[in-house]
Amino acid sequence: MNQTPRISVIVPMLNEAANVAPLAEEIAAACAPLAPFEAIFVNDGSTDATAEEIARARARHPWLRELRHAQSCGQSAALLSGVRAARAPVCVTLDGDGQNPPAEIPRLVAPLLADRDGRLGLVAGQRVARRDSLSKRLGSRLANRVRARVLRDDTRDTGCGLKAFRRDLFLTLPYFDHMHRYLPALMRREGYGVAHVDVAHRPRAAGRSHYSNLGRAMVGALDLFGVWWLMRRRRLPRIAHEDRP
């Protein structure tokens, strides 16, 4: 833990006890070529045995850390806490339900690790052959079409939990609940590039979903208007000249 990691893997978790050990093992295998690395499992106020399972996994994997919220604050808050605690310059996120294969991590972080001019801000995973219920797929497809039409963020699937980004840049973005669904638009707003990688998707192996189409739709309309307003109000200056010491 004394060596500064190259990447930090951030995994929000809410009542995902059965998924802790499998995810830890898969992250270990996927990130071995990227060592040194760390993973931060953000326990978002779980009421099951998630904390105990993370403790068991930490005994096997010294690169694993737990960050625990006193109460559930939501996925965006968990991501923010994890990124703030991260020690690496590049962060990669995946959902704690096991549907995002950790094997995709090297493909996501590779463009950022190779970026020399610092203009790439985000690599966003886009799920192919989604393994969700029909109602969830249809609801997500409609939401993505509306969002893409309004924000013009050139992203097919912003709901995918697999994303990689520069830590310093993420921490400059405006924070609000559900912001993780608008990262491509927010990165473009700051003038940074966004790359896309098609990634695999798996059915949930254990536990149950914490989201519903109705719940997403109710907050999504207000969020979309807010991000649209942010995009409209942003004016990036063009530097014509700078004297350097």
Peptide bond into 36 cis (omega under 30): yes
64 domain-assigned: yes
Q: How many CA atoms lie within 13 A of 179 on its CB side?
A: 16
pLDDT value for 208: 66
The one-letter amino acid at 195: A
pLDDT value for 84: 98
Residue 23 structural domain: 7-233
Q: Please give the DSSP secondary-structure letter assigned to residue 24.
A: H
- The CATH code of the domain that includes 123 is 3.90.550.10
190 domain-assigned: yes
Q: Is 152 exposed, middle or buried (0-12, 13-18, 19+ CB in 10 A)?
A: exposed
The one-letter amino acid at 67: L
pLDDT value for 200: 93
Cα separation, 198 vs 230, whole angstroms:
28
239 domain-assigned: no
149 domain-assigned: yes
pLDDT value for 132: 57
Residues with pLDDT less than 70, the chain: 1, 130-148, 150, 207-222, 235-239
Q: How many domains does the chain have?
A: 1
pTM value is 0.82
By the 8 A CB rule, do 24 and 108 touch?
A: no
33 domain-assigned: yes
